[in-house]
Structure 1
Amino acid sequence: MQVQISHEIKDRWNNACLGILIYSAKVEESSSRFLELFHGTIEGLTNRYTMQGIADILHIRSTRNAYKALGKSPSEYRNACEAMLRRIIKGNGLYYINNIIDVNNLMSVTTGYSIGSYDIELLSEPIELKRALDGEKYQGIGKETVNIEHLPTLYDKEGAFGNPTSDSRRAMIQSGSRTIMSVIYSFDGESDLQEVIDRYCDLLRQYCLVDKIDIMMVR
C-alpha cells in the first residue's frame, strides 16, 4: 500500500505522521465480552475528564493546533476523538457499530488520537494525506454533506475519502469479510505511536480474531 503525506501538509505542520494497520477481518457485531470492556472503559472516562479538559489532552491538542495551521477552525470542526469524548462526558455514551469500528473508537477515546478505518477494496493507490481544497465536500457517514475544506484529508485516485473529523461513505466498513486499513492520525510525531499500535493489534487479535497485521509508519 503506497501512502504518503503531501509537502503542503508538512510545510504547514511538520509533525504530521500516520500509523497504519492493514489486515483482513470478518466484520460483524462486537462480542458481549468486548462490549463489557467497552462499556467499562466509557464509564471510567466519564469520571476521568471534564468538558473543559478535553481540548488539553496531548494528541487532541496537537490535532487542534494542526487544524489551525491548515486554516480550519478546530472548534467548529472537531476531530472525531474530541467529539466522542465530549459525547461521553455529556453522558450520551457511544453507538455500537461493528467489531472493527468499536475497537477503532475504543482505541481513539483512550489515546486521544483520531482513527479512521477504511475498506481497501474500495480504494485505489496511491493514497496521500493532503490539505483539502477550498470549498471541497463529500458525503459523510451518517451525514448528508461534510465540509472538508482545509482539513488534513486522505485521497486516492478517485478523490477524498477520510480525515480525522469525519469519513466519507465511499470506503466505510460494512459487514462481511473485508481487507481493512486503519489509520491513526498523529500531529505530534511518533511519540507513543508504536505503543498505541501494539495495543491496537492486541485488541484486533483478541476481539476481532485478526491474524496477520501489516504495520506502516508514514512521516
Structure 2
Amino acid sequence: MNISLNASLSMVNDQLKIGIIHYTKIVVSQSPQMIKGRTQLYQENLFLEMQEQPVTERLGIQEWRKVWKAFGADPNRYRHSAESLMRRIAKQNYLTPFHSAVDLNNFFSLQYEIPIGIYDMAKLKGDINIALGDKITGYEGLNGRYNSLENILYTEDAEGPFGSPFVDSARTAVTEETTEALHIFYLRPSLSEGECSELLESSGKMFTQVSGGDFTFALLTTSNPTITLS
C-alpha cells in the first residue's frame, strides 16, 4: 500500500507534515484503568487551564485553524477535530471511555493539540491519497450524518473518501475486532521533522503498550510525499 500527499497541497502549505503509524497484531478492547484515569485527570487539568487560556489561543489549535483557513475552509463553521474535543472539555463535557484505540486517539489529540484519525486496515482498499476536498467530496461520518469536505483535507482509498481532520467516516472505523490499524497524525507544520518523528515514536510505543502488537511509523512531507507500507 502506498500513501501519498497530493502535490497540489504543497502549493498552499509547503511545510505540511502528516504522520503515519501502522499497527499490526493489536488487540482493541476496553481501556485499562490506568488510561481511563490518566485521560480523566488530563481533561480536568485542561479544563482549569482553559479558564485562563481560551481554546483558540492554544498553540496547536491556533496553528491548525490557520492551516484550515489557508486551504479555504471556515475554521469557525467547520472546526478540526482537536478543537472540537477541546471545546467539549472547556464546557466540562468530558470524553467518556469507548475502547482502547479511540481512547488513545483522543488522548494523543488532546496532548498534541492536533487532529488525529485511526482506521481499520482490513476496511481499506488499495493505495491512499491525501488531498483537498471539493463540492462532491464527503461521506457518512461517525457523527451520524453526511459530512461535506469541500476545502478540507481528506484521505481516500480505492473505494472513496474515508477520513479527515474534521470527522472520520463510519466505513473504516476501528472496532474491537480490529487487529491491524492505520493512525494518521495531522502534525503542526511548524514542528521540525525530528520533533515529528519523536512524537510518532512516543505515540506508537504508548499505543502498543496498551494494545500489544508492533508498529512502524513514517512522515509524509512535501519533499517526501509518498511512503510504502509493507
Q: TM-score by structure 2 length?
A: 0.89
Q: Does 1:194 align with 2:197?
A: yes
- Counterpart CA distance in 2 for 1:157 and 1:6 is 15
2:217 paired residue number: 215
Deviation at 1:150, TM superposition (A): 1.3
Deviation at 1:32, TM superposition (A): 1.5
- Counterpart CA distance in 2 for 1:58 and 1:188 is 12
Deviation at 1:189, TM superposition (A): 4.9
Q: Does 1:171 align with 2:178?
A: no
2:19 paired residue number: 19
Q: Percent identity?
A: 23
Deviation at 1:125, TM superposition (A): 2.6
- Decide whether the 8 Å contact of 1:59 with 1:188 is kept in 2: no
1:57 paired residue number: 58
- Counterpart CA distance in 1 for 2:209 and 2:75 is 34
- Counterpart CA distance in 2 for 1:177 and 1:151 is 27
**Any stretches of 5+ residues in structure 2 without a counterpart?**
222-230
Deviation at 1:44, TM superposition (A): 1.1
Distance 1:21 1:90, change over 3 A: same
Deviating more after overlay: 22-31 vs 75-84:
22-31
- Counterpart CA distance in 2 for 1:64 and 1:9 is 16
- Counterpart CA distance in 1 for 2:100 and 2:50 is 26
Distance 1:206 1:45, change over 3 A: same
- Decide whether the 8 Å contact of 1:66 with 1:187 is kept in 2: no
Distance 1:51 1:170, change over 3 A: farther
**Any stretches of 5+ residues in structure 1 without a counterpart?**
none
Amino acid paired to 1:206? Q
Deviation at 1:110, TM superposition (A): 1.0
Give the length in aligned residue pairs: 218
Distance 1:69 1:176, change over 3 A: same
Distance 1:189 1:171, change over 3 A: farther
What is the root-mean-square deviation in Å for CA atoms of aligned residues?
Answer: 1.6
- Counterpart CA distance in 2 for 1:96 and 1:31 is 10
- Decide whether the 8 Å contact of 1:42 with 1:88 is kept in 2: yes
Deviating more after overlay: 181-190 vs 155-164:
181-190
Amino acid paired to 1:213? F
Distance 1:133 1:187, change over 3 A: farther
